Amino acid sequence: MDTIEKIKTQISENPILLYMKGSPKFPSCGFSAQASQALMNCGEPFAYVDILQNPEIRAELPKYANWPTFPQLWVEGELIGGCDIIIEMFQQGELQTLIKDTAAKHPKPEQA
């Protein structure tokens, strides 16, 4: 499976997916830390991919997504955005609603 196919599979199989540097418990950059903290504060499980452990995804995802930076939050196959958008949505209460509604529609995800 090539890298783009792998990305498409991860996005389709995980209704809430965060591409980030590190893991939610041990983030490797400040932006990933803020984004994963906001998601964890929504109270629902989510899948993540550590792009530092997956250099091919780190190289290909920005082209596929047409979004140059990480983290990237994908919900039900759609790119929501990066850290600034995630934090802004969280502060306005939009992220919590989106994550809870999505989680209610899908079984609990595992790490991608």
Query: What's phi and psi for 103, nearest 5 deg?
Result: -60, -35
In the annotated binding site, the residues are 21, 29, 58, 70, 83-84
Cα separation, 38 vs 90, in Å, equals 6
Annotated binding site for glutathione: 21, 58, 70, 83-84
Give CA–CA dist 83/86, Å, rounded. Answer: 5
Task: Cite the annotated binding site for [2Fe-2S] cluster by residue number.
Answer: 29
How many of the other CB atoms lie within 10 Å of CB of 25?
7
Nearby residues of 95 by Cβ (< 8 Å), 6 or more positions away: 38, 39, 42, 86, 89
Decide: helix, strand or coil at residue 112: coil
